[in-house]
Structure 1
Amino acid sequence: MVKHLGLVWLVTAAVALPVQAGTFTYTGDTTGGLTFNRPEVSPINGAITGLSPIAQTVPYQAQGFLVSAAGVYTFTSDQLFDGFLVLYQGTFDPADSLVNALTGNDDAPSAPAFGFSNRSALNALLSANTRYFLVTTGFSSPTFGPADAGFYQSTIAGPGTISPVPEPFTVLGTLAFGLWSVGRSAKK
């Protein structure tokens, strides 16, 4: 009987333990980076509404990641420019920036009613083991004044572990360089 109670206690303790929340913070700089036509989002709910008429050639950086547990994740980004976040599920194609775009944010909810904020933030319900991309970009293109680009720090937080995933082009480039290096070494 005591043996069974110990097993019941062990199972109960394992189930009752709090879920460990995950946080992933990274930095980057969009200055001089690749550009795309940024999606436009509703300021009310972050829904994608089309392509932005004022951000047609805005620099961006994309961070791929996976989460280990389904749930609501929080995304925040502090920028040294008027920044903008867009979340993608599955793939991110800068040549077709509306495909797979889930939501976005210009200014965090605590931003002033007029003017710009240096913080973007959003929440999204994510599925476990699904690839996502958080794209950090600027509010407007150089055609409408100075380009919104520069240094940023972004944080993803939620109920599961957040694991960064390199962009496919980065992986392919690394593999190609590695194969070239091995081939070159073998010839010597």
Structure 2
Amino acid sequence: MRRPLQILSTVGALGALTGLALFAPAPASAQAAYSFHGTTAGGSMFNRPATPLAPTPALSGKVVRYSSQAFFTNSNATCSFSSVQEAGFDGVIYLYSGAFDPANPLVHLVKASDNGPQGVHFSAFTDVALQGNQSYYLVTAGAEPAAQGTFTNFLSCTGATRILAGDGSMPSYDGRYGELRKGRFRISATWTNFQQVSGVGTFVPLGSEDSGILWFFSPSNFEVMIKIVDGCTLNNRYWVFFAALTNVEFHITVHDTWTDTSKVYDNALGVSAAAITDSSAFATCP
């Protein structure tokens, strides 16, 4: 029997809290996606594998705290993983297939990532082929023995109808993805402030299928309003419009789940964010 390991929360559609979008059938071609939010603080410890794994996997000699999240897909899928380590926490992520034994952490190890394309506090690996109904374990650990803190791990898969927690359940909505236009467009955001502390944008539960509002630091302090406009009858495009009331660094990713295409909008640290009116964003009509 599959059992969840320290899965704290998972994300659904922005409109799920209305009680409507939660039960609306997803398009057959849409991707499955979830986020897992947790902490390594006070967790168990292991001798983490060194990164990168190539040419030969080896132990790092660094005994660190970790958190393990069990999951599986209900069909074969190609999946991408990304992690945001929050509030100054510097972490590493590992993917295990079939089992995770902290006493033998090189066994069943598939992938590992320390610092991703966005640098420290971010980890990622992409295009990982997963077997349907096979147990997997996403392990988040401190990069150094003293490193511990909170994190959000994002998982997105093509081909999978569902990504499920270790016991087959669907954990509750946590706002770390927003889904607009009936779930076709999936939106997420990360940020880094002037103290080099990073975090994940969280959607306010509005119940709108067209627009979303994000907060970074406090639920009462809104940072970004974003909407997807159907411009297919005008210029055969979906448009992305947003305005941000901030000068921190942020990265907003908009993903068309029907066509598996994405656009990323960036703002540099210290720059007052300009309004974006991208009327050529997605040439993916209808």
Which TM-score band applies after superposition, normalised by the shorter structure? 0.5 to 0.7
CA distance in 2, matches of 1:71, 1:48: 26
Residues 1:38 and 2:38 are matched in the alignment: no
Which of 73, 89, 98 aligns to 1:90? It is: 98
Which of 40, 62, 74 aligns to 2:68? It is: 62
- Checking the alignment, whether the CA contact within 8 Å between 1:84 and 1:137 is kept in structure 2 is yes
| Letter of the 1:154 counterpart | N
Residue in 2 aligned with 1:49?
Answer: 57
CA distance in 1, matches of 2:28, 2:166: 27
Residue in 2 aligned with 1:164?
Answer: 165
Residue in 1 aligned with 2:81?
Answer: 75
| Letter of the 1:151 counterpart | T
- Report the 3-state secondary structure (helix = DSSP H, G, I; strand = E; otherwise coil) of the residue aligned with 2:103: helix
Count of aligned residue pairs for this structure pair: 136
C-alpha distance 104-151 of structure 1, shift in aligned 2 (>3 A): same
| Letter of the 1:91 counterpart | A
1:48 Cα deviation after fit: 6.0
> Could you report, residue by residue, the CA deviation over 1:16-60 in whole angstroms, capped at 9, with x for unpaired residues?
x752211111211111110001111327xx67621013x2x2000
Runs of 4+ residues deviating >3 angstroms: none
C-alpha distance 162-48 of structure 1, shift in aligned 2 (>3 A): farther
| Letter of the 2:34 counterpart | F
| Letter of the 1:119 counterpart | F
Which of 25, 43, 50 aligns to 2:35? It is: 25
CA distance in 2, matches of 1:128, 1:95: 27
> Could you report, residue by residue, the CA deviation over 1:116-160 in whole angstroms, capped at 9, with x for unpaired residues?
x1111112211111100000111111xxxxx11101111111021
Please, which runs of 5 or more residues in structure 1 have no aligned partner? 1-16, 112-116, 142-146, 167-188
CA distance in 2, matches of 1:131, 1:28: 19
1:68 Cα deviation after fit: 1.9
Q: What do you get for the CA RMSD once the two structures are aligned? A: 1.8
> Could you report, residue by residue, the CA deviation over 1:137-187 in whole angstroms, capped at 9, with x for unpaired residues?
11111xxxxx11101111111021110105xxxxxxxxxxxxxxxxxxxxx
CA distance in 2, matches of 1:122, 1:40: 16
Please, which runs of 5 or more residues in structure 2 have no aligned partner? 1-26, 168-286
Which of 108, 120, 138 aligns to 2:142? It is: 138
TM-score between both structures, scaled by the size of structure 1: 0.67
Residue in 2 aligned with 1:148?
Answer: 147
Flag the structure with larger Rg: 1
Q: Decide which structure has greater strand share.
A: 2
- Checking the alignment, whether the CA contact within 8 Å between 2:57 and 2:106 is kept in structure 1 is no
- Report the 3-state secondary structure (helix = DSSP H, G, I; strand = E; otherwise coil) of the residue aligned with 1:28: strand
1:85 Cα deviation after fit: 0.3
CA distance in 1, matches of 2:91, 2:55: 17
My pick for the range that moved more, 68-77 or 98-107, is 68-77
TM-score between both structures, scaled by the size of structure 2: 0.45
Matches within 5 A, 1:116-127: 117-123=120-126, 124-127=128-131
Sequence identity (%):
32
CA distance in 2, matches of 1:66, 1:58: 26
Residue in 2 aligned with 1:14?
Answer: none
Q: Decide which structure has greater helix share.
A: 1
| Letter of the 1:35 counterpart | M
- Report the 3-state secondary structure (helix = DSSP H, G, I; strand = E; otherwise coil) of the residue aligned with 2:57: strand
